[in-house]
Amino acid sequence: MGITKSEIFTEEQNNIAQIAKVFGHPARVAIIQHLFKIDSCVCGDLVNEIGLAQPTISQHLKELKKLGIIKGSIEGTSVCYCIDQDKWKSVKQIITQFLEQETGINNDCC
């Protein structure tokens, strides 16, 4: 497997790519939507809600947590996850700025 050479890209480009990668799997999108819907969650609930095996859900949670979109707290033998509101605002701002770019190119040229 080759290296990504992420160091040749700007911090903004790397941030957008990391966000896109996390959102690039429908299970992660479903997890985020579920967390917004109920405002907190125990991992076992996600297994029932999403319909994937516990290890698979755990791997997706790990990726979401690595980006910082979710945070978790230990409650006995369970971990309760929720959306990190500050990080979510940051992600929204980054993606919104990226998506609101205008080409400035006349559409007749292509």
Q: What is the pLDDT of residues 31-46, one digit of tens each?
A: 999 999 987 777 678 8
Ranges of the chain with pLDDT below 50: 1
Element (H, E) at 74: strand 70-75
pLDDT for res 86: 97
- How far apart are the C-alpha atoms of 91 and 62, rounded to whole Å? 17
pLDDT for res 74: 73
What are the extents of the domains in the chain?
10-94
pLDDT for res 1: 47
CATH 1.10.630.10 fits 10-94, yes or no: no
Torsion angle, alpha carbons of 36, 60, 46, 74, to 10: -90
